[in-house]
């Protein structure tokens, strides 16, 4: 004798399969990111915050400090990625940061990106001065939250705070 399964039973079994297979949706993790610049001389810095995958490749742009797209090619490593991917930067770009000042922005990550080999890269550039490809690069780890990380160029330090 064949058993008849209701639509409800089939739908429930399919949902259980997807959840147990890791396809469940997780709430994104939200962080505040404080970027403090050093006291250098010159124009405001353009700073790009990117997420790199475990292979060290650009995954996505998280924030751009600097609205004028005509200066984006002054950040050449990121510009190659950005110009190919054609990301929409609406809502994630703001004014450049002036010497000695700080800005706080919100960053969002998928929970699976934390403690999984992903990195944050902060690239910076100032008009008529040098470009710093890895002004700061840090592992996206829970252990780095709340800890100040020092930059090597225009960035004095960066600090992530979970919200």
Pairwise pLDDT comparison (148 vs 20), residue with the higher score? 148
> Span 53-79, mean pLDDT?
94
Those residues whose C-beta lies under 8 Å from the C-beta of residue 9, and which sit 6 or more positions away, are none
Domains of the chain: 26-162 (2.60.40)
- How many alpha carbons lie under 13 Å from residue 78 in its C-beta half-sphere? 30
85 versus 73: which is more confidently predicted?
A: 73
Number of other CB atoms surrounding residue 126 within 10 Å: 23
pLDDT tens-digit map of 87-128: 777 667 888 999 999 999 999 999 999 999 999 999 999 999
- Give the predicted TM-score (pTM) of the model: 0.82
Residue 13, class by beta-carbon neighbours within 10 Å (0-12 exposed, 13-18 middle, 19+ buried)?
exposed
Give the residue, 120 or 68, on which the prediction is more confident: 120
Residue-wise pLDDT tens digits, 118-146: 999 999 999 999 999 999 999 999 999 99
Burial level of 128, CB count in 10 A (0-12/13-18/19+)? exposed
pLDDT of residue 69: 87
């Amino acid at each position: 004798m064949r058993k008849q399964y209701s639509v409800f039973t089939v739908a429930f079994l399919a949902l259980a399969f997807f959840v147990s297979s890791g396809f469940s949706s997780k709430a994104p993790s939200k962080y505040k990111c404080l970027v403090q610049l050093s006291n250098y001389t010159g124009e405001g810095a353009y700073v790009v915050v990117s997420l790199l995958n475990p292979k060290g490749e650009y995954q996505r742009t998280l924030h751009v400090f600097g609205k004028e797209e005509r200066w984006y090619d002054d950040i050449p490593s990121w510009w190659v990625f950005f110009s190919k991917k054609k990301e929409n930067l609406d809502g994630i770009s703001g004014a450049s940061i002036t010497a000695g000042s700080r800005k706080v922005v919100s960053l969002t990550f998928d929970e699976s990106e934390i403690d999984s080999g992903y990195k944050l890269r902060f690239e910076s550039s100032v008009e008529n001065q040098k470009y710093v490809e890895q002004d700061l690069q840090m592992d996206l780890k829970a252990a780095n939250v709340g800890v100040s990380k020092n930059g090597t160029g225009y960035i004095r330090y960066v600090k992530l705070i979970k919200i």
